[in-house]
Amino acid sequence: MAHLELVQALPREEARPRPDHEIIAAMIGEGARVLDIGCGDGALMAYLARERNIRARGLELEAAKVHACVRRGLAVAQGDAERDLADVPSGAFDYVIFSHTLQELRRPQDALRQAARIGERVIVSIRNSAHLQARMRLFFKGSLPTLFGAQTAHPTSVRDFAVFARTMRFNIERAVPLTHGNPGAPFAKVLWRANWFAEEAVFLLAS
């Protein structure tokens, strides 16, 4: 069972980026080739370009978000990850990123398999559906809360995702828990503790 570790995030801008974006940036090498799946309005790509001087491309399903990326001057294509990743050449990127995206896909296993083919490393950030707050609400009210104001098509826990990744024969190189936006807090070393107390987690995977 892999241990979770604290990764030192990059210095913060005056307007802090999303916490998982900071951790992702700390995992990526300078000047890397990056594909951001479900890139939204391009906030992560813009941040990585500024902090890591990456060469980024994005893939986004929603036209309005594609237009937002274009306004930022980012290279993005409109498309469906579950269909269009099959057309990307093998080994085209150093990192493929699913930032709060993989849990929203209908067939996350297929998308992750394609990501391993086209990228040397895969980075996945997830919302932890087994966080203590969710457990308590389920116990007392019989329902799960909507974490961070967003619906998750495939609720999963930190432990669930670790098992899922290993089942797909990924090596978990790093796994960073986040609580209240802070990496490694309150527990950073033991997987079961992160499974209870981390609100989200970022995984760096190698195939």
Residue 149 corresponds to which amino acid? G
Q: Which of 84-88, 141-145, 195-199 has the lowest mean pLDDT?
A: 141-145
Supply 166's token pair. 């290993």
Q: How far apart are CA 38 and CA 200, in angstroms?
A: 18
Domain range annotation of the chain: 19-206
Name the fold adopted by 19-206. Answer: Rossmann fold (3.40.50)
CA-to-CA dists, residue 22 to 18, 90, 91, angstroms: 7, 27, 25
pTM score above 0.75? yes
124-157 pLDDT tens trace: 999 887 655 655 554 445 455 544 444 555 678 8
